[in-house]
Amino acid sequence: MADTLLTRPTTVVEQMMPRQLRGRVPVIVLAVAGAALAVWGASTVNAPIASDYGLVAVLPARFWVGVAVLNVAVAIQLARPVVRRPDIVVTLGLLVVVLYGAAAIATGTPRTEVAWRHLGIMKALLGTGTVNPLIDGYFNWPGFFAGLGALLQVTHLPPVALALVAPVLNGLLWMLGVCLVVRALTPQPHHIWLAAWLFTLFNWIDQDYLSPQAFAYFSYLVATGLLLHTLAARPGTTLRSAVSEHGLREGWWTWWSSRTPVERDPRRRVAGLWVVVLLSVVILVSHQLTPFFLLGTVALLTVTGRCWTPRLLPVLGALIVIWLTTGASAYLGGHPVLFVQSAHEVTSATVQDRIRGTAGHLHVIDVRFAMTLGVMALAGLGVLRLWRAGHRDFRPVMLMIFPFLMVPLQSYGGEMLMRATLFALPFAAYYAAVPFLRTERRNGRVTRQQVSVVVLVVAALGSVGVIGARYGNAGFDTFTADEIAGTQALYRLATPGDVLVTPAHPTPWKYRGYLDHDYVVLTEQCGPSTSSDDCYQMVVDRAKESTGGALLMFTRATSEAMRIQGEQRDWSTDGLQSSVAHDPLARLVYKNRDVQIYRVPSTAEMGQ
């Protein structure tokens, strides 16, 4: 059974295809047609996204038809005895473009405040030419921003355009990285591409915008793929049998010395080792969290005897310590990178604080949980099936479970559970593909045709789910043309030393003047029980203390964010606007449909 499952799989979708069409369907034409239809559908959506359910509620039927056609095109290719690599790469690539680029196609502007902020950090780093870790946490991990700046200088690409297409580019890179990881676990093309398909459909975590995390995650996938193949080892005996036969000490050594390298060519092993070390350094100087996931991966593979290079573990550990005590020492002084939290603190930060908002927003959260539980349930079925087949490679199980053990060690702004899901997903996709692989066994009660229907149903649910979960915040994290124009006006009106104020996240700012202004977000300064008048008085006080005063910007996105996410506060954006309107010293300096900007004078300006 094990040999049948692992060496001769093909997808049961084949049974759905008429015999005369198998191998003859112009699949690329079908895929391109589906992608074109989906892009056309997404392009008809106009910002703002006026739904608490996000983008999924406003996409037209033609978009969903196009996505369905793309999924059918993938299924057709996986139904064939031989998967043609160029065809499946193009088809899955088009699916990534459609699913991960839907918001960009609909709005034409980069999503999320963070993507805009990262452009400003990159410009600040290039403008100063030096790294000052005292500025903020980003400057303790500057590698990504330095590399991004160098790329833009060499290619002359427009920064905003790159931020717009970054989710698609990163999605494509991640898919290739997942293929590399799964290829290290199984040589079967059907399994590899089916896992890549499922990863694409269930990756709702939305961390593929222009960010250090996206870059570090791809680097992690490449390093992990090398660890699982080029640097992998295969024990010649089990630890249990060796210990039972020789005793603990001698048995352990017998087991350890029985290991043989998976890659027989020592030159390739050395090259792979240097690539992993280089990627480790790149990850280490670019992102706060990913080095610890990589360290855990190396540690698990080393202690289980599945890494041929055990010295890599202390080397990676030393590199992390060196960077944290030198390059990131300024941040580490007041922000421990890892800290153990109580179960209550973990639950509060990662779950309770996020389960609130309007009815539509709560449904979006439900979809996110359902997507995660769904792919993990499929993965569980895959684990059981492989176990029954006699498959005893536990590396994917360990690497799927390990990320969730990191959750108590770091809240990461309440996002740790999402990050853990992201790092577990490649291995979950590997296992989730197994129930849909065909074997030669014919005694099952469920027919292949029935399972084929399940494959396409899972693809349909995954497609709808990933749009619903990924873009569930589109009502406030996508920006209108007026909001972009208003932010541009904010910087035209601002002078160095001005305090720039917004009621809440997200705001498409900090893409310029990152070091020229103090930025204030009132949800981080005014407590829940603060009144609107008192909160506005805080703005007045900050303006008086500054050299140039304050610019207070109200946007549609910030108001929608507070409403949709259910911010329970005694102050509101409407109350703040009423307070500023009653201030005789404040004046409206800019207004369009979605933005209002008020200037609050400094003490020096009041005396003029």
Both 454 and 513 in a single domain?
no
Q: Is 268 within a domain?
A: no
Mean pLDDT of 286-307: 96
Q: Which of 419, 417, 434 is nearest to 378 (CA)?
A: 434
Entry field: residues in the chain: 608
pLDDT, residue 588, reads 97
Summarize pLDDT for 3-57 with one digit per residue, the tens.
Answer: 333 333 444 444 555 555 555 458 899 999 999 999 999 999 999 999 999 999 9
pLDDT, residue 339, reads 58
Mean pLDDT of 310-320: 96
- State in Å, rounded, how far the first CA of the chain is from the last one: 87
Summarize pLDDT for 530-546 with one digit per residue, the tens.
Answer: 999 999 999 999 999 99
**What share of the chain has pLDDT > 90, as a percent?**
74
SS3 598: strand
Both 592 and 552 in a single domain?
yes
Both 489 and 378 in a single domain?
no
Summarize pLDDT for 418-472 with one digit per residue, the tens.
Answer: 999 999 999 999 999 999 986 544 444 444 554 567 788 899 999 999 999 999 9
Both 529 and 415 in a single domain?
no
Whether the pLDDT of residue 529 is over 60: the answer is yes
Task: Tell me which of 77-86, 113-122, 208-217, 328-337 is least confident.
Answer: 328-337
336: confidence class by pLDDT, cuts 50, 70, 90: low
**Mean of pLDDT over the chain:** 89
| Domain-ending residue, one of 443, 476, 509 | 476
* Residue 345 neighbours by CB under 8 Å, 6+ apart: 411
Q: Do 14 and 79 touch, CB atoms closer than 8 A?
A: yes
95: confidence class by pLDDT, cuts 50, 70, 90: very high
Whether the pLDDT of residue 248 is over 90: the answer is no
pLDDT, residue 228, reads 98
Exposed/middle/buried for residue 281 (C-beta within 10 Å: 0-12, 13-18, 19+): middle
Q: What is the distance between the alpha carbons of residues 469 and 373, in angstroms, rounded to a whole number?
A: 13
Q: What is the distance between the alpha carbons of residues 393 and 434, in angstroms, rounded to a whole number?
A: 14
Q: What is the distance between the alpha carbons of residues 500 and 385, in angstroms, rounded to a whole number?
A: 57
pLDDT, residue 342, reads 56
Q: Is 266 within a domain?
A: no
Q: Which two tokens stand for residue 257?
A: 């010395």
Q: Is 134 within a domain?
A: no
Mean pLDDT of 172-191: 96
pLDDT, residue 531, reads 96
**Helix (H), strand (E) at residue 408:** none
| Domain-ending residue, one of 449, 476, 503 | 476
Q: Which two tokens stand for residue 53?
A: 């359910």
Both 455 and 495 in a single domain?
no
Both 462 and 498 in a single domain?
no
Whether the pLDDT of residue 348 is over 60: the answer is no
| Domain-ending residue, one of 476, 508, 531 | 476
Q: What is the distance between the alpha carbons of residues 75 and 17, in angstroms, rounded to a whole number?
A: 10
345: confidence class by pLDDT, cuts 50, 70, 90: low
Both 458 and 581 in a single domain?
no
Q: What is the 3-state secondary structure (H, E, C) of 74-143?
A: HHHHHHCCCCCHHHHHHHHHHHHHHHHCHHHHHHCCCCCHHHHHHHHHHHHHHHHCCCCCCCCHHHHCCH
pLDDT, residue 205, reads 94
pLDDT, residue 10, reads 43
Whether the pLDDT of residue 189 is over 60: the answer is yes
pLDDT, residue 244, reads 83
Q: Is 426 within a domain?
A: yes
Both 222 and 347 in a single domain?
yes
Q: Is 289 within a domain?
A: no
Q: Is 119 within a domain?
A: no
**Helix (H), strand (E) at residue 442:** none
Both 419 and 515 in a single domain?
no
pLDDT, residue 408, reads 81
Mean pLDDT of 491-508: 95
Both 405 and 496 in a single domain?
no
More confident call, 21 vs 287? 287
Q: Is 174 within a domain?
A: yes
For the residues of 531-567, what is the DSSP string, one character each?
Answer: -HHHHHHHHHHHHHHSSS-EEEEEEHHHHHHHHHTT-
Task: Tell me which of 325-329, 349-353, 449-453 is least confident.
Answer: 349-353
Whether the pLDDT of residue 80 is over 90: the answer is no
Q: Which domain holds residue 510?
A: 480-606
Domains identified in the chain, total number: 2
Whether the pLDDT of residue 213 is over 70: the answer is yes
Both 456 and 575 in a single domain?
no
Q: Is 280 within a domain?
A: no
Both 459 and 510 in a single domain?
no
